[in-house]
Structure 1
Amino acid sequence: MKIRTPHSHNALAALVFGLMLSLPAQAALYDRGGGLLYDDVLNVTWLQDANYAKTSGYDTDGLMNWGAAKTWAENLVFHDSVRNADYSDWRLASNTPVGTDWNYSYSTAGTTDLSYNITSPHSELSYMYYVNLGLKGYYSPAGTNQPDFGIFGNGTIDGQNNVGPAKNLQSPGYWSGTAYAPYPADDAWVFVTIIGGQGNGPQGNELYAWAVRPGDVAAVPEPEAYALMLVGMGLLAGVARRKQK
């Protein structure tokens, strides 16, 4: 006896679609072309040029105090030559607490906010440095010295380097867009690319600025999603053939 389940075709389609939605994404930094990089965990798009303020001619060397760096990012209009689009919703990278609240204790394990080895997405610059670019800090999480620290991977502490898809990554460090809560009128969070540490610095100092914007410029399914879509299409085609018979 053949048992027919009502709307079985629709149910299977819903199941396949649900599996596609629940497919875990592998964290990655995608080169979208046109000078843009997409982080699929933070769901933000970075300028590929980590010193675009200088490259674009806005500033002679890219070094700016915190107020000037924020003004540059917030007023930036970047033309995407691949999609022939202009984007104006830029900002500096942000910080939120690594834990449930700000922790101003020093650590090397990435467990506090004044720390090396922060891989939490709550620190956008540190996440880029450690996770997306695979760079090392002066100290390991256990607190031992690592000779291959920094943006060159060999302990060199000055200059610029292309790392992975990122271009013109600078040393000594970058401003975040977040004021330092204990002294919000005086200090801001910074990420020190010389040594891979996150800390605070006086807003009058001069550091580099790396612009970021929310979302993706090209919502393209990743390879895993394509594979699952093909499997689902095959299942649906098989059901359709059986119904015809």
Structure 2
Amino acid sequence: MHKPVLPAVLLAALSFTGAAEAGLFARPGGLVYDSDQNLTWLADANYAATQYSAGGGSAGADGGLFDWADAKAWAEALIFAGAEGWRLPTADPTCAGDACPTAELGSLFYTGLGGTYGTPITASHNASFDLFLNLGDVLYWTATPDDANPGYAWSFDFYDGSQLAYQDDSLFVAWAVHHGDVPVPATLALLAAGLLGLRRQRVGGSA
């Protein structure tokens, strides 16, 4: 009578891990998984501004705006959804000005969100745009310095889909990203615990 239970739970676990094959997927706790790049984005694209408002200025930044060094420091110190290891997205320093889909923010803009070069993301996007909060037509810092020009760092502009280097004391938005699918290990651990509990129930019931 109870034999189908374990396979059903296993199927649920496999469905959770196998569903993310392509595109952007909402995850619990304010996260979005990007399966094209195997990255997890904060669903709040200007979380530093949200922090600042919620904490009365004790965290984050006014308007979410940082210079490059502070943007990196904020992202790397962030603990979100129980996870450390957040960072700024990386740029592709071989691409400048025009559409740069090989950069992490560029891939999100063009592939994940369906953006169009020369058009603000708020005006041209696909349905995945609605997975995010506070996603604006603004410049986002990347973690990549412009080695050819000391004192400059790469940014990505969601106003027109371009990637450019700016002086690192400029004030832009920071958007934290994390490698991999952040919630999966914790979720699988809970599923494993559930499977173990069910197995023990079966063993106890058959005694």
TM-score by length of 1: 0.60
Q: Distance in 1 between matches of 2:61 and 2:84?
A: 18
1:10-44 CA-to-partner distances (Å, cap 9, x unmatched) read xxxxxxxxxxxxx9x84211111210011112111
Q: Is the 8 A contact 1:170 1:208 kept in 2?
A: no
Q: Distance in 2 between matches of 1:26 and 1:44?
A: 12
Matches within 5 A, 1:44-55: 44-55=39-50
The match for 2:78 is 76
Select which of 87, 92, 109 maps to 2:88: 92
Q: Which amino acid aligns with 2:36?
A: V
The match for 2:142 is 176
Structure 1 gaps of 5+ residues are 1-22, 81-85, 103-112, 139-148, 155-161, 221-245
Q: Distance in 2 between matches of 1:170 and 1:61?
A: 12
Select which of 195, 219, 223 maps to 2:160: 195
Q: Secondary structure at the match of 1:217?
A: coil
After superposition, the Cα gap between the structure-2 partners of 1:215 and 1:54, relative to the gap in structure 1 and judged at 3 Å, is same
The match for 1:150 is 120
Matches within 5 A, 1:91-240: 91-96=87-92, 102=94, 113-120=95-102, 123-138=103-118, 149-153=119-123, 163-183=129-149, 185-219=150-184
1:93-145 CA-to-partner distances (Å, cap 9, x unmatched) read 01245xxxx3xxxxxxxxxx01333222xx0011111110111121xxxxxxx
Q: Which amino acid aligns with 1:188?
A: A
Q: How many correspondences in the alignment? A: 157
After superposition, the Cα gap between the structure-2 partners of 1:167 and 1:215, relative to the gap in structure 1 and judged at 3 Å, is same
C-alpha displacement at 1:164, in angstroms? 2.7
Q: Which amino acid aligns with 1:118?
A: C
Q: Distance in 1 between matches of 2:155 and 2:47?
A: 18
Q: Distance in 2 between matches of 1:27 and 1:66?
A: 31
Q: Distance in 1 between matches of 2:137 and 2:123?
A: 12
Matches within 5 A, 1:38-49: 38-49=33-44
Over aligned residues, Cα RMSD in angstroms? 2.0
Give the number of the structure whose residues are more often strand, by fraction.
1
Q: Secondary structure at the match of 1:30?
A: strand
TM-score by length of 2: 0.70
Q: Is the 8 A contact 1:136 1:153 kept in 2?
A: no
Give the number of the structure whose residues are more often helix, by fraction.
2
C-alpha displacement at 1:195, in angstroms? 1.3
The match for 2:23 is 28
Q: Is the 8 A contact 2:28 2:183 kept in 1?
A: no
